[in-house]
Amino acid sequence: MQPTLFIANWKMQKSVTQSVEFCSAHFESLKVLSADTAIDLVICPSFPALLILNEMLADTMVHIGAQHCSPHESGAYTGQVSAESLKEAGCTYSIVGHSEQRMYNGVTDQDVANAANHLCQNKIEPIICIGETKQEFENNTAFSVLEKQLDPVLSILKNTNQPITIAYEPVWAIGTGTVPENDYLTTVFKHISALLTKVHSGPWRIVYGGSVSEETIAAFKNIPALSGFLIGGASLDFKKFEKIVSLGK
Ligand code: 13P
């Protein structure tokens, strides 16, 4: 059986010092947790913490991931970080197209596709975030929104056989405590799976993100095609994160 993927997205919630403190305080537990063959554990701290966490956790099975990647390969793009640099910082995963990047930094579907392409070329698994807003959900346009978001990604990755992860994160579920109904998630996942099966030649997984917690995790069991979780707020506290992993694996 494929391991369940647990991705901690720390967003901009922990400074470098706090990230280091977390990993040093829970080093032994992280080592034990990540050695479990039933799970794949990924921690995504902010950029300046990537290298140091990668070094600190080298003796564990924890993977280090970035929260964003530039759509450009290299060049005069002040403030951006390339896939090549992420590789050198030890990343094996990178989130791309998070709704907060789309919303606050104007990241487009094509940017997400280009970034995912550079990541694949650098053998970093992209965690490609897609998801509809509350209004799109209420207007029943979620499927066309997801298709539009995925379209450039799937056409640019058509010829790669690199593994990719799609993170379905409905914007209305992020940080709200509200999660979609099981039936809804099952239908959405079926839809995304069909698109991926048709186009992507490499391995792929679909994870869910949005208000995953100790309280909500049980509801996600038995959803076909669900390979794991992208966790924001609840991943900041080790005890909560550990509980989610033990309940969700
Ligand atoms: P929360 O788990 O805090 O809802 O955040 C979800 C998220 O945005 C993860 O990328």
76 C-alpha vs ligand 1 centroid, how far in Å? 31
| CB half-sphere exposure, 227, CA atoms < 13 A | 21
In which band, very low, low, confident or very high, does the pLDDT at 201 lie, cut at 50, 70 and 90?
Answer: confident
Q: Is 42 helix (H, G, I), strand (E, B) or coil?
A: strand
Asked if 69 contacts 86 with a C-beta cutoff of 8 angstroms, the reply is: yes
213 C-alpha vs ligand 1 centroid, how far in Å? 10
Please indicate whether residue 9, judged by its CB atom, sits closer than 6 Å to ligand 1: yes
| pLDDT tens per residue, range 24-80 | 999 999 999 999 999 999 999 999 999 999 999 999 999 999 999 999 999 999 999
| pLDDT tens per residue, range 106-159 | 999 999 999 999 999 999 999 999 999 999 999 999 999 999 999 999 999 988
Please indicate whether residue 210, judged by its CB atom, sits closer than 6 Å to ligand 1: yes
Q: Quote the pTM value.
A: 0.98
CA-to-CA separations, 133 to 3, 51, 246, in angstroms, rounded = 30, 34, 30
- Would you say how long the chain is, in residues? 249
233 C-alpha vs ligand 1 centroid, how far in Å? 6
Give the DSSP letter of residue 72.
S
Q: Give which of 5, 65, 66, 2 is closest to 41, Cα–Cα.
A: 5
Ligand 1 atom showing the smallest separation from residue 175 Cα: 4
| pLDDT tens per residue, range 206-230 | 999 999 999 999 989 889 899 999 9
Ligand 1, atom 1, lies closest to the CA of 232
* Residue 210 CB neighbour total at 10 angstroms: 25
Query: Which residues are bridge partners to 8 per DSSP?
Result: 43, 231
Please indicate whether residue 177, judged by its CB atom, sits closer than 6 Å to ligand 1: no
Domain covering 4-248 in this structure, CATH number: 3.20.20.70
Query: Does the annotation count 98 as an active-site position?
Result: yes
Query: Does the annotation count 88 as an active-site position?
Result: no
